[in-house]
Amino acid sequence: MPQSKKVFTVYIKSKMGYTPMTGILLALVAAVSWGSIVFVSNKLGGDEDSQTLGTTLGALFFAIVVYLFKKPDMPNVVWAVGFISGLFWSVGQKNQFGAVRYLGVAKTGPMSTGLQLIGTTFFGVFIFKEWQTTMSIIIGISSLVCIIVGAVLTSLNQGDDKDQGKSLKKGLLVLLLSTAGFVGYVVLIRWFHIDGWAAILPQAIGMVTGAFLITLRHRPYNKYAVRNMLTGLIWSTGNLGLLLALPLVGVATSFSLSQTGIVISTIGGLFFLNERKSKKQVIMVLLGCLFIIAGGVLLGYTKR
Give the pLDDT confidence score for residue 13 in this predicted structure. 47
Q: Is the pLDDT of residue 5 over 80?
A: no
Give the pLDDT confidence score for residue 275 in this predicted structure. 67
Give the pLDDT confidence score for residue 7 in this predicted structure. 42
List, for residues 151-203, the tens digit of each pLDDT value. 788 777 655 455 666 787 888 899 999 999 999 999 999 899 898 889 999 99
pTM confidence score = 0.81
Burial class (CB in 10 A: 0-12, 13-18, 19+), 160: exposed
Number of DSSP helices (H) and strands (E) in the chain, helices first: 12, 0
Among 91, 42, 92, 95, which residue's Cα sits nearest to residue 224? 42
Q: Residue 303: CB partners within 8 Å, gap ≥ 6?
A: 20, 23, 24, 136, 248, 249, 250, 253
List, for residues 218-230, the tens digit of each pLDDT value. 889 999 999 999 9
Q: What is the mean pLDDT of the chain?
A: 84
Q: Is the pLDDT of residue 9 over 50?
A: no
What is the CA 221 to chain-centroid distance, rounded?
A: 25
Give the pLDDT confidence score for residue 202 in this predicted structure. 96
Residues written for the chain:
304
Count of Cβ atoms closer than 10 Å to residue 54 Cβ: 27
Domain ranges of the chain: 20-303
List, for residues 50-96, the tens digit of each pLDDT value. 999 999 999 999 999 999 998 999 999 999 999 999 999 999 999 99
Give the pLDDT confidence score for residue 58 in this predicted structure. 96
Min mean pLDDT across 33-47, 98-112, 191-205 is at 98-112
List, for residues 51-64, the tens digit of each pLDDT value. 999 999 999 999 99
Instruction: Give the H/E segment covering residue 241.
Output: helix 229-258
User: Cα angle at 200 between 196 and 205, to 5 degrees?
Assistant: 155
